[in-house]
Amino acid sequence: MRTANILDLAILEMAKRRHPKTICPSEVLRWIYPHDWRAFMPEVQESMMWLFRNGKIQVTQAGKPAATNNLPRGPVRISIKEELRDDDTP
């Protein structure tokens, strides 16, 4: 079983803080790793999809929900699920 990591927690925290606005995965990385954020894009995408598949966040592409079975190509937006907005658990 996978446990939450720093990127999971950062995605959730930023999504909660920015609610009702959406965030970009790169914004999370720029917040944590301002100089080397590009190197961590695969990891943040993996965390994003894990959180999405487990019902913690919503991932949209061009305003429509992304598919959960594969990594979306191109720009995506992340938002916290309404019911988790005040929850502190990853």
Q: Where are the domains of the chain?
A: 6-82
Write down the pLDDT at residue 30.
98
- Tell me the C-alpha distance between 50 and 38, whole Å: 19
Q: Give pLDDT tens digits for 5-51.
A: 999 999 999 999 999 999 999 999 999 999 999 999 999 999 999 99
* Domain 6-82 = CATH 3.40.50.740: no
Distance of CA 5 to the CA centre of its chain: 12
Task: Give the pTM.
Answer: 0.89
How far CA 24 is from CA of 15, 34, 46, 58, in Å, comes to: 9, 14, 14, 12
